[in-house]
């Protein structure tokens, strides 16, 4: 009998081990240092807004689950249906544990960022926030404050763009999937790159810049607080971005800023659709390990 024990619950599934024995695997989830410090990230000049903003997260909730372990030979080691809602700001908890997995390399590991459900476990998440995610069909709930020149801008965004992150590469050694060793516990991290949400182009981020001016330009005062509503980002056209006064949005060199989705399809060429697409690219594995991010 193989036991699946997420930190948030318990499920059972029958399976047979092989001649190489069995082991266990534990997955934690991490938003890396940015989830705790915000931006800029101390000591990393690449993780900073080029337009002078600082940003701190109060909450970065994510709904994650449906883990799968598969071999290149077609064998399935685990196909789970459990999920959890986790606040990345609160820490880097161990979320899922699978026991009794055949000891071998499972070359194909995948997980989903999926709509929050009532059956999901919860780690560091209030009932009110979980209910908001469930009601909205959100897979992310992100809240925080962005600051520039002494002015604070609040945001509270529910994002619905579920993603299956498949064929993940181990960011530590560049190998495919995971390795289970006999009578041992293997430990891996589902990693989310929060900076992807703020880059000015999609796809390869090697020469992308983190920006916030275009997002802040849609802010409205609500009960005395400058507030950025996610849906208001629809007003920002990617090829004709405007500043808060309605003029052309210019970069630090006086050139027009244009957000480029490259080949990533958008429902409409506006900043809201762009951020939805950007959120889909956050899923990584064991640090920098690449996963194919596809709609689920």
Mean pLDDT by 10 residues, the chain (296 residues): 41 43 97 97 96 98 98 97 97 96 97 98 97 98 98 98 97 97 97 97 88 98 97 97 96 92 94 97 96 88
Confidence (pLDDT) at 15: 39
Number of independent structural domains in the chain:
1
Confidence (pLDDT) at 295: 83
Strand partners of residue 188: 27
What does the alpha-carbon distance between residue 155 and residue 178 come to, in Å, rounded to a whole number?
37
State both tokens at 241. 């971005």
Residue 231, domain extent: 2-295
Confidence (pLDDT) at 85: 98
Confidence (pLDDT) at 1: 31
Confidence (pLDDT) at 17: 41
State both tokens at 129. 């926030």
DSSP conformation letters of 41-76: PTT-TTSSBTTS-EEEEEEEEEEEEEEEEE-TTS-E
- Count of H-run helices and E-run strands, the chain: 4, 19
């Amino acid at each position: 009998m193989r036991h699946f024990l997420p930190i948030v619950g318990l499920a059972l599934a029958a399976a047979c081990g092989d001649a190489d024995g069995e082991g266990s695997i534990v997955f934690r989830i991490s938003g890396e240092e940015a989830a705790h410090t915000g931006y800029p990230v101390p000591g990393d000049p690449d993780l900073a807004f080029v337009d002078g903003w600082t940003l701190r997260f109060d909450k970065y909730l994510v709904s994650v689950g449906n883990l799968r372990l598969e071999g290149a030979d077609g064998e399935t080691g685990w196909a789970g249906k459990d999920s959890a809602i986790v606040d990345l700001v609160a820490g880097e908890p161990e979320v899922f544990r699978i026991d009794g997995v055949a000891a071998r390399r499972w070359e194909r590991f995948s997980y989903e960022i999926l709509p929050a459900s009532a059956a999901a476990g919860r780690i560091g998440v209030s009932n009110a926030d979980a209910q908001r995610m469930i009601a909205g069909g959100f897979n992310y709930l992100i809240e925080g404050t962005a600051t520039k020149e002494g002015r604070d801008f609040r945001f509270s965004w529910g994002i619905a763009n579920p993603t299956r992150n498949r064929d993940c590469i181990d960011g530590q050694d560049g190998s495919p999937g995971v390795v289970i060793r006999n009578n041992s516990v293997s430990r891996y991290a589902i990693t989310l790159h929060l900076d992807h949400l703020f880059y000015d182009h999609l796809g390869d981020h090697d020469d992308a810049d983190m920006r916030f001016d275009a997002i802040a330009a849609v802010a409205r005062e609500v009960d005395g607080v400058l507030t950025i509503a996610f849906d208001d980002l629809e007003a920002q056209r990617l090829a004709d971005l405007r500043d808060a006064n309605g003029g052309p949005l210019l970069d630090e060199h006086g050139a027009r800023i244009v957000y480029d989705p490259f080949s990533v399809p958008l429902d409409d060429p506006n900043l809201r659709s762009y951020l939805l697409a950007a959120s889909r690219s956050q899923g990584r594995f064991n640090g920098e390990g690449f996963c194919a991010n596809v709609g689920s």
